Amino acid sequence: MLSFREKKLISNKQIEEHNYHLRTRGYSLIPSFLEHEECQLLKESLSLQLDEFKPISGSERSFLDKNQLHDLINRDLNFARLLEDPRLHQAISPHLGEHWIMYAATSSSIPPKGTNYSARLHVDSPRFSPGYVFNLGVIWSLDEYTNDNGALELLPGSHHDPTEPSLELFEKNKVKVLCEAGTLIVFNARVFHRTGINTTDKWRHSMTLNACRSFMKQRMDWVRFIPPSISEKLNKQARRLIGFDTRLPSSLSEFFVPETERLYKSNQG
């Protein structure tokens, strides 16, 4: 099983640079975030889950998302363990506050000679508010990102402008994010981006997370969606990200409880 208890925290100097890049160009890379063995363990599990995936009958979106699994955390404790990493909080909290939570957690795999639904030019947050970040994207690269295997393409600085760039402008000014396996990529969810085309004969795998403010609604009711057999094994940080500190009472008896027993913890923004 993965464990991040012994991981060395990111240095203040590296965090300062990370924060600067996120504010200005809209993305940042933290190399060697995962070790080779950790990447391999997650890739093996992800490959098995992809083989077992069956689209929901009658749902076009389910078919389109066949290479982007939305429930890996429900199936494998190791993917949920990624949420326990204190370095993840270091990278996200300066931009979304101390009580940020998980909006979505999705794998992103690109088959040989193909791509996935994220190949369209898009942003991951529809809200534009200058100087205020609502969402950040996080990618754990489980494989090397190369020129040939569908590396992330983005338009640096596009989070500063509310208008959607034309494809011509994007093509002329885009950056391909090339990195080693195990790199953590963090980007402002208002940055225009897309997944590239994989022209190789091998799959390219990664795990992604959309992080949001604590007061925002999540894509899933993760507290109920993730089975207790997984969520009960996680540390306090991971359970907060899942949403255990931002639950709503469903009865007056749950509402009128001592402060220490509140489902929605106080002072979270």
Between strands 152-154 and 175-176, the pairing is antiparallel
What's the pLDDT score for residue 245? 96
Domain 12-261 CATH superfamily: q2cbj1_9rhob like domain (2.60.120.620)
Closest CA to 78 of 176, 177, 153, 3: 3
Contact 186, 30 (CB under 8 A): yes
pLDDT at 267: 87
pLDDT digits (tens, 9 = 90+) for 116-144: 989 899 999 999 999 999 999 999 999 99
Q: Which residues contact 58 (CB under 8 A, 6 or more apart)?
A: none
- The reported pLDDT for the residue numbered 148 is 97
Distance, in Å, from the CA atom of 116 to the CA atom of 257, rounded to the nearest integer, reads 47
Which residue ranges make up each domain of the chain? 12-261
pLDDT value of position 51: 93
Q: Rounded to 5 degrees, what are φ and ψ at 225?
A: -75, -45
Looking at residue 150, its pLDDT comes to: 94
Instruction: Order the strands of the 152-154 sheet from edge to edge.
Output: 175-176, 152-154, 193-195
Residue 120 structure tokens: 């369209």
pTM for the whole thing?
A: 0.95
For the segment 41-89, what is each residue's pLDDT rounded down to a tens digit? 999 999 999 999 988 988 988 888 889 999 999 999 999 999 999 999 9
Rounding to the nearest 10 degrees, give the CA dihedral for residues 124, 127, 133, 139. Answer: 0
- Segments in the chain below pLDDT 70: none
